[in-house]
Amino acid sequence: MFNIFKRGIDKKLLQEVDPANLPRHVGIIMDGNGRWAEKRGLPRTAGHRAGAQNLKTITEFAGQMGIPYITAYAFSTENWKRPKEEVDALMQLLLDYLRDKDQLAGKNVTIRVIGDRSALSDEINREIDVIEDYTKDRDGMVLYLAINYGGRQEIVRGVNNLCRRVQQGELEPGDVTEAMLSAEVYTRDVPEADLIIRPSGELRLSNFLLWQSAYSEFWFSDINWPDFSTKDFTQAILDYQNRNRRFGGR
């Protein structure tokens, strides 16, 4: 069935997964890193580092399971409001992991970065270009890292692009369709999110994949992201497979 029977993986639970009914695109809100660290008397930056390590674990596991796309919420447009010391530490952590190309997501994973890169440093933007080029020919999972990303910002960006086409005479205002706007979002080349996972006990989207989640299934847990295990991921997949997705129909 699955060739991923490694230590720490719940083999019995994994056997229950239907490989013919896997979500094509999973969104993950990596929440609870700071709380994980505080509970252990550690600085919040330690939690972010542990969370980044766990992203590699979950991404590799999901890819071997056969899930083709994951979008991970790494840094939102609202996260700039956090204390400067924490933001600076997050940017340094991002830089460190971008430079360690196989550490970020594991082998055979294609990495793409989505979001407004204009607010990121030149150094980070250079490393993003390097890792995207380095991983572009891989044939495994595609990992979208959402950095300085906001769902509302993404939609406004797409609307502005369509407005420019109207202004240039390429379109009439009444010609704009949902499909045209779908073609303007950052993840336009992949299916919309089938499943969105959010650990840490919060029950909201927090401006994540707003356009792409119109018919997503949601899975919440109280587990902080660094403690979110392959067993938890497997349970999320099983719960997804047990739901009846009607897409507005009966």
- Distance (Å, whole) CA 111 – CA 186: 13
- Cα separation of 34 and 48, whole Å? 7
18 catalytically annotated: no
Q: Catalytic pick from 10, 79, 116, 207?
A: 79
Distance, in Å, from the CA atom of 168 to the CA atom of 160, rounded to the nearest integer, reads 12
Q: Let me know if 79 is a catalytic residue.
A: yes
For the beta carbon of residue 86, count every other beta carbon within 10 angstroms: 15
User: From the candidates 3, 10, 21, 31, which is the catalytic residue?
Assistant: 31
Question: The tokens of 250 are what?
Answer: 């009966």
Candidates 77, 73, 66, 123; CA nearest to 99 is 123
Q: Tokens representing 91?
A: 């940017």
- What is the residue type of 206? S
Please choose, from the candidates 134, 25, 43, the residue with its C-alpha nearest in 3D space to the C-alpha of residue 88: 43
Residue written as tokens 């793409």?
A: 112
The residue count of the chain comes to 250
Q: How far apart are CA 102 and CA 98, in angstroms?
A: 9
- Pairwise CA distance, residues 207 & 178, whole Å: 19
- Tell me the sheet residues that pair with 112: 144
Any idea which residues carry the catalytic annotation?
Answer: 31, 79
